[in-house]
Amino acid sequence: MSPCPIPASAISEPFRKHVDPAAPAPLRMMASRGLVPMPPRETVSVLACLCFDDDPKIQEGAQNTLTSLPDRVLTGALKEDLHPLVLDHVARTIPFKEAVIEAILVNPQTPDETFAYLGETLDGPLLEIVFNNQVRILRHPPIAQALISNPKAPKSQVDMLMDFAVRTGMDFAGLAAFEEAKKRVLSAPRDIKEEARIQQVVVASLPEEMLRDEVEPKTAQEASEAEKKRETILKKLHTMTAAQKVALAQKGNKTIRMALIRDANKVVAVAAIKNPGVSESEVIGVVTSRAVSDEVLRIICNNREWTRSYAVKLALVQNPKTPLAFSMRFLQSIHTGDLKGIAGNKNVPSALANAAREMLSKRNAGR
pLDDT at 1: 54
Residues 59 and 365: their CA atoms lie apart, in Å, by 90
Write the pLDDT tens digit of every residue in 257-294: 989 999 989 999 999 999 999 999 999 999 998 888 88
Is the pLDDT at 213 greater than 90? The verdict is no
Nearest alpha-carbon partner for 70 in 16, 122, 34: 34
DSSP 274: T
Measured distance between the N- and C-terminal CA atoms of the chain, rounded to whole angstroms: 84
Model pTM score: 0.76
3-class secondary structure, 85? helix
Query: 42-46, 53-57, 87-91, 210-214 — which is least confidently predicted?
Result: 210-214
Mean pLDDT comparison of 71-80, 166-175, 344-353, highest-scoring range: 71-80
What does the mean pLDDT of the chain come to?
91
Percent residues over pLDDT 90 in the chain: 67
Query: Under 8 Å CB-to-CB from 90, ≥6 apart: which residues?
Result: 44, 48, 66, 74, 78, 100, 104
